[in-house]
Every structure is written in structure tokens, then in C-alpha cells.
Chains A and B, each alone.
Chain A
Amino acid sequence: MSSFRMRHPEETSLVRYLDGDLPAREAGKVASHLESCSQCRAEFEALQSTVADCARYRQEVLDAMPAPPAEWRDLYRDFSRIDESLAHEPLLVRLARPLVHAGAPRWATAAVLATLVVLGVFYQLRQTPSVQAAALLKRAIATAEAKPRRVHRIRVRTGNLDFTRVVGPQAPLTTAAAAPSVEALFNLAHIDRNDPLSARSFEQWREQQVHTTDEVSTVAAGYRIRTVAREGEIAEASITLEASDLMPVDERIEFRDSEWVELTEIAESTTESGGITVAPRVEVPVRAAEPPSRPAAFAPGPSASISDELQVLLALHEVEADLGDPIDVSLSNGKVLVTGRAGLPPSRQQKIQAALANMPLVEMQFDSLQPAAIPPQAALSSAGGSATPHPVIQSRVEKQLGGHAEFERFSAQILESDEEAMKRVYALHSLAQKFPAASEAQLSAKDRELLTTLSREHAAVLSQKVSTLASLLLPTLSSLGGTAALVQAVPQAAWQPAAEDLFRSSTRVDKLVSIMLGMTPSEGSTASLPTDLLSALKDLQSNLDDCQRLIAQ
């Protein structure tokens, strides 16, 4: 095709061209187009200058940083220590290592490892604890991969939390939307939220540590591995593997600051067996969307009420701080407590402080930053791991759309609408949780009106974004053979539970979209994704209609 007839390249292509990220053929096309099109050339030059500005700005920022506070260490001494600890690493681990890193197919690695481990069973029992630990864990991982788990329940306990999580291939997707504090904790503890109690996560953490001491003991249920780390935020972790099939039954992670997390597999029957799998005393079902109790909400006097909280939310809404900024608002000790979490830029913080400056009974806490919660769109993979995008569905979509460039454009448009939609979903969900029907009824008519206006606005913008998303997705998904399943709507009596349903269906859409675009690894086959996503979208639209109708009432 003549370069004169080539369409103007997308901005994404220009950026990728500038970054040298385009494949040679496409890069050639862009280059010859730029030669002939002054409009695109100007665009490209503007991008180039922006990148140059960025680099200059970044250099200024880096130069403005303080110098290191201490002398740099002489690493040679540490090197020798590492050499020593590696030299003492037992044969079995050294034998197994090249298999793990040589890029052999995973199943082959797992199979060979399993054989090695079985052959070495007598050997390992005479070896140091670290061999036993590594060997047991590797065997446990191989077994787990060979035999996918059915849906099961894990009890999660920490110093101040106690809840149950349903995990497994068909577990309800709502489990992914747990409280931010739980997600942050899981990230810190290297826990995979889709498979919290797993030998793999334990081994991944263990492998990353430079200096560890292992202990392996036999207990009633099977083997117990305890690993103490000299560095890092996790001081020690222990896991119990069942003797018969090496399935993990419990795990405990202790942080250096004495926080801890305990995970226990809940046995199918609640009767105790072997003293390990004990049904929890308090089991909070994850799906339950019970509104939280609102203590002191209507206390008289100078104590803050939910009405004050509503005013704060409105003020935050004015500066759009209710759309994705890492901020929590809660009632605490008679005040409306506004807490900024890690990741809130100082300039944003100032804007929020200014917006709330003249409000009574407000307490702001921006200085004591809690662990960063992971915002829905910016979820990082747990440290050290890298997501493996599922290429099958992506290439199907790409083929359907007619090429990589089209896929990129499609993906960009979808990301945009999805991101905007999810911001509104979270905002609406948060309002529904803060003002359950009973609390709403206690508000003055004026406050109720304000609350309605706010939720109506979120729902209306959401509705626009969902329509855009649907119109983008429908043609492609249908031509990939997807058909929307019949929706069995459960009508709700108030907008709050409807917002819960909406939240559930949107997070499902969000997750499926992200699998489709290759941004989240899929947990299984993606063959049914077009149908799943179409059904989820339909479900979302019906929940949204329901919610909007109830808000209007």
C-alpha cells in the first residue's frame, strides 16, 4: 500500500514507534507515513518533546532526592556468605534447580520433580531440613497442579479479622471484592487471593529469601514445615501438609511487627478430625451483603452523625475524590474520620484538605499511612510474580477484529470505559454500604435528597459507560459465538441491596474484560468467555436498571 494511502496511525502506534516497540514492518509503515503527512509529523514531534520534557523532569526529581544516608556496604563479604550457604545446599535441591529454570514445559518439570522426589524419599529423610522442606513443597506443588481442587473453604484469621473465603474453580467471583485491608494483607503475606492456602505461594516466598532456616516435623495431620527468615517483613511462616496427598491444611504467617495471618482449610464435615481441620466458631459468609452496623449514628450533641458523613462525602465528590482516590471515610469516636492511604499524592491530599477545611467534626489522617490498598484497576501482581496473559482468547479477539492494531484500539476504548464505569460502581457501592435503607430513613428529607442526587449521578454516568462498553463488546463477542444466558433477576426492595447486586455483576464484567484483554491471567479455559461476558453484561445491565429504578423511587 502506498504510504499516501495509509490511514493516520493511532496515537498508541506513534507512542510505540517512538519507544521502538513496534514490529519492524509496522514501524516501516509509520516511518513512511510520517515522511508524507505533516499533520502526523507534528503530532509525533509533540510526543517526542513531551518525552524529552518527561526525561528532564524526571532527572530533576531524581537530582532533588537526598544522597544515601550511609556508606554503601562492601558486598564481597555478603557474597562469601551466600557462596557458603549455597555450597551447603543439598544435592537434591541442586539437582532439581536446573529443571525449574531451564524452561522445560511445566508438566515435564512437575513430573520429573515428582519422580526425583519419590526416588529420593529415603535420601531426603536423612538430609538437612531445608532439603526436606524444598522437596516436600515441590512435591506438594506438583500434586496440586496435577489434581485441580474443587470448591473449598478457607478460614482466614488475623489479629482482628476472622472470615471464611470460598476458593476453587467455580467459587463465586464476589470473593475477589474483599475489603481493601484484607487485600493489602494478602499481598503483604504473599497470599494468592484465588488460592490462599497453597504450597506454591509458600514456596515462592521461601525461594525469594536469601537467608532462611527450615524445620520439618511430623505432626498428627502430616508434615509441618516452618521457615524462619532473617530479612524481610515476614519473620516466619509455617505450613502443614497432609500426609496422604500433601494438600495444605493450615498455614501461619508471622510478620516482624508481630502481626499474623492464619489460614485453615475447613473440612467438608464440621466434625473434628485429627485436631487440625476445625470448623470456625464464627463464620462470616463472604457473599453476605449485610449492611454494617452504624454505631452512634444518631447520637445527639457534638457527635458526628451519618448526616455529617454525607456532607463530607458530598464535599469529596465536589473534588472528585470519591472516584478512585485511596481515601476512607468512616464514623469514629464522634467524628467523621477521613483517612488517606498510601499512594495519595501530596497535591491531591492538599486539595482534599482544602475541600474539607471548614467542616466541623471532621478529622483527617493523612500522615499515618496504612498499607497501600490495591485499587481495582491498578492491581499489582503479588511481588515477584508476573502475570501470564492468556493468549488464546486474545488471539481469537484479535483475529476477529482484523489485526493487532485493531485489537490495540479496541482494548484502549474498552479499558477507558471500563475504568470509568468501575470508579462509579465503587462510589455507588460505598454509598450503599454507608447508608443502608434503615440509616437512610433516619436522614432529614434534605439529606435524603442529596444522597439520592449523588447516587443518581453515579448510576447515570455508569449507565452511559456500560452502554458504551456493551456497544463495543457485543459485536465482537457475538461473532465469537457468544450468546447471553437468560437473566434471572431477583428484584430488590431498596436501591442499596440492588447496588450490591450491581457491584457483584460489575466486578464480574471487569474481571472477564481484563481476562479477555490479557491483563489478568485466566484461571481456566477461556472457551466460554464470550458467552460468560455477554451474560455478565446482560446481568449488569439488568441490575443497573433495577438500581436506577429504585433510586428514582
Chain B
Amino acid sequence: MGFLRQPQSSSELQDQVAQLFVDTREDLYRYLLTLGVHPPKAQESVQEVFLRLYATLKKGEKIENIRGWLFRVAHNVGLKVRARQASEEAFAPELELRLTHPALNPERDLLERERMLRFHTAVEGLSEQQKRCLFLRLEGLRYPEIASTLGISASAVGEFLRRALARLKKVRDE
């Protein structure tokens, strides 16, 4: 992902952020859904994140890794939004069903469906922190970025990832 460097004209910056918005919004939106944020709120939050990005860059602040920044801010916004969903259920689509239903996955054979379900159960069984490290890692964030998103040290990120992978490896071996 391109870095936004050097002071530039307002319209240049607007174009760059708008392009970034088109490229990244779906990723951020889906990431927020997996945090349990409901779709309308998730969409709203993603838009808010990009406005913050624009305001931050406009103020002349430098951002080294934009994707890392976007996920970090989205993660924090998402957690706050989810916490505010006090009276509602967290958004949790029936993943088991979607991942394994033959009609939804006609090309997948039974064994493969079972394996996916086992994997899903194992992922659900990871600690919240392990899951967060893993998912942010899969979004392409580096250890220090994950660390700053979650407010832990980079070595702790390594440790959480190690534990998560060790557990998931067992499922593979089963």
C-alpha cells in the first residue's frame, strides 16, 4: 500500500484518500463484522475511520504504514461501537452453517467441510487476544503494528501467535 508522503495539495490528498477508501473499505468493513459489530454500524465506522485518516494527514501528521493505521483505528472504533451495543447481541452470523452447508459449498467434499468446521471450532476456542493477533496478522499487519493496536509488546504478539498456531496445528494433525 502506498505511503502518503510530502505535503501536497488538498485535492491530491482527497483523491488519494478516496482511492484508498475504495481499495480498503470492504476489508475494514468485514474485519469489523468479525469483531461483532453490526453491518450498518460497521459501515458507518469505516467511513468515520477514513475521515479521521483524512483529518490526520491534513494536519500534516505522518503515517508510516497506512494499512496498519487503518486497521488499528478501525479496531479501536469497532471495540467501542461493540461495547455500545449494550442492548443488542454481538453480530454473529451462523458461520458454522455457512462454512459447511453443502448447498452453499457444493464444490467442497464432505471431508473438507468437516475439516473446515474443526478448524472453525478450534479458532473459536482460542483466547480473545490470540484471535486478535492472528486476524490482524492475516490482514498483513506486522508485529509492532499489532502490538500497538492491542496495547501489548511485540514479543507478546509473537507469543500469542505461537500459542494460537500451536493449537491450530494440532487440529491439522488430527
**Chain B associates with chain A:** yes
The residues of A with any CB-CB pair to B shorter than 8 Å are 11-12, 15-16, 19, 21, 46-47, 49-51, 53-55, 57-58, 60-62, 64-66, 68-70, 72-73, 75-76, 78-79, 82-83, 86, 97-98, 101, 184, 187-188, 208, 210, 231-233, 257, 324, 342-343, 345-348, 367-372, 375, 377-387, 389, 407-408, 411-412, 415, 517-519
The answer to whether A378 and B59 touch across the interface, beta carbons within 8 angstroms, is no
The answer to whether B55 and A82 touch across the interface, beta carbons within 8 angstroms, is yes
B29 within 8 A of A: yes
- Proximity bits, B123-137, A CB within 8 Å = 1, else 0: 111011100001101
Nearest residue in B to A52 (C-beta to C-beta)? B172
Give the distance in Å from the alpha carbon of A82 to the alpha carbon of B57 in the complex: 11
Q: Which residues of B contact A82 (CB under 8 A)?
A: 51, 54-55, 58
Q: Which residues of B contact A72 (CB under 8 A)?
A: 21, 25, 43, 47
The residues of B with any CB-CB pair to A shorter than 8 Å are 10, 14, 17-18, 21, 25-27, 29-31, 33-34, 36, 39-40, 42-43, 47-48, 50-52, 54-55, 58-62, 73, 76-77, 79-90, 92-93, 95-96, 98-99, 116, 119-121, 123-125, 127-129, 134-135, 137-138, 142-143, 147-156, 158-159, 161-162, 165-166, 168-169, 172-173
- Which 4 pairs of residues, A with B, have the shortest CB-CB distance? A381-B151, A383-B76, A386-B148, A371-B83
Nearest residue in B to A419 (C-beta to C-beta)? B127
The answer to whether A342 and B55 touch across the interface, beta carbons within 8 angstroms, is no
The answer to whether A98 and B60 touch across the interface, beta carbons within 8 angstroms, is yes
The answer to whether B155 and A518 touch across the interface, beta carbons within 8 angstroms, is yes
- Can you list 15 A-B pairs, Cβ within 8 angstroms, ordered by A? A21-B143, A65-B30, A97-B59, A368-B87, A370-B86, A372-B79, A378-B127, A379-B151, A382-B151, A384-B73, A387-B152, A411-B155, A415-B156, A517-B153, A519-B153
Give the distance in Å from the alpha carbon of A204 to the alpha carbon of B127 in the complex: 29
The answer to whether B159 and A411 touch across the interface, beta carbons within 8 angstroms, is yes
Give the distance in Å from the alpha carbon of A412 to the alpha carbon of B39 in the complex: 37
Q: How far is the CB of A111 from chain B (nearest CB, A)?
A: 21
Assuming the contacts A19-B137, A73-B47, A210-B48, asked whether A83 and B169 have C-beta atoms less than 8 A apart, the reply is: no
Q: Which residues of B contact A12 (CB under 8 A)?
A: 158-159, 162
Q: Which residues of A contact B165 (CB under 8 A)?
A: 15, 47, 50-51, 54
Q: Specify which of B58, B77, B79 is in contact with A83 (CB 8 Å cutoff).
A: B58
Q: Which residues of A contact B137 (CB under 8 A)?
A: 19
Give the distance in Å from the alpha carbon of A73 to the alpha carbon of B162 in the complex: 40
Q: How far is the CB of A430 from chain B (nearest CB, A)?
A: 19
Q: How far is the CB of A121 from chain B (nearest CB, A)?
A: 24
Give the distance in Å from the alpha carbon of A98 to the alpha carbon of B80 in the complex: 29
What's the dominant secondary structure at chain B's contact region? helix
Q: Specify which of A60, A79, A86, A385 is in contact with B116 (CB 8 Å cutoff).
A: A60
The answer to whether B84 and A233 touch across the interface, beta carbons within 8 angstroms, is yes
Give the distance in Å from the alpha carbon of A505 to the alpha carbon of B127 in the complex: 25
Give the distance in Å from the alpha carbon of A379 to the alpha carbon of B99 in the complex: 31
Q: Specify which of B80, B89, B98 is in contact with A233 (CB 8 Å cutoff).
A: B80
The answer to whether B98 and A15 touch across the interface, beta carbons within 8 angstroms, is no
Beyond A61-B34, A75-B50, A383-B76, 17 additional pairs, beta carbon < 8 A: A11-B162, A21-B154, A64-B93, A64-B99, A68-B39, A73-B47, A86-B55, A101-B62, A324-B127, A342-B85, A345-B125, A346-B92, A348-B124, A367-B89, A369-B85, A408-B159, A517-B153
Q: How far is the CB of A161 from chain B (nearest CB, A)?
A: 16
The answer to whether A64 and B95 touch across the interface, beta carbons within 8 angstroms, is yes
Assuming the contacts A69-B43, A367-B89, asked whether A19 and B153 have C-beta atoms less than 8 A apart, the reply is: no
The answer to whether A58 and B93 touch across the interface, beta carbons within 8 angstroms, is no
Q: Specify which of A46, A79, A387 is in contact with B153 (CB 8 Å cutoff).
A: A387
Assuming the contacts A62-B30, A75-B50, A517-B156, asked whether A53 and B172 have C-beta atoms less than 8 A apart, the reply is: yes
Assuming the contacts A57-B120, A347-B124, asked whether A378 and B55 have C-beta atoms less than 8 A apart, the reply is: no
Q: Which residues of B contact A83 (CB under 8 A)?
A: 10, 58
Q: Which residues of A contact B62 (CB under 8 A)?
A: 101
Give the distance in Å from the alpha carbon of A83 to the alpha carbon of B51 in the complex: 11
Q: Which residues of B contact A86 (CB under 8 A)?
A: 55, 58-59
Assuming the contacts A46-B172, A57-B123, A518-B155, asked whether A412 and B162 have C-beta atoms less than 8 A apart, the reply is: yes
The answer to whether B151 and A231 touch across the interface, beta carbons within 8 angstroms, is no
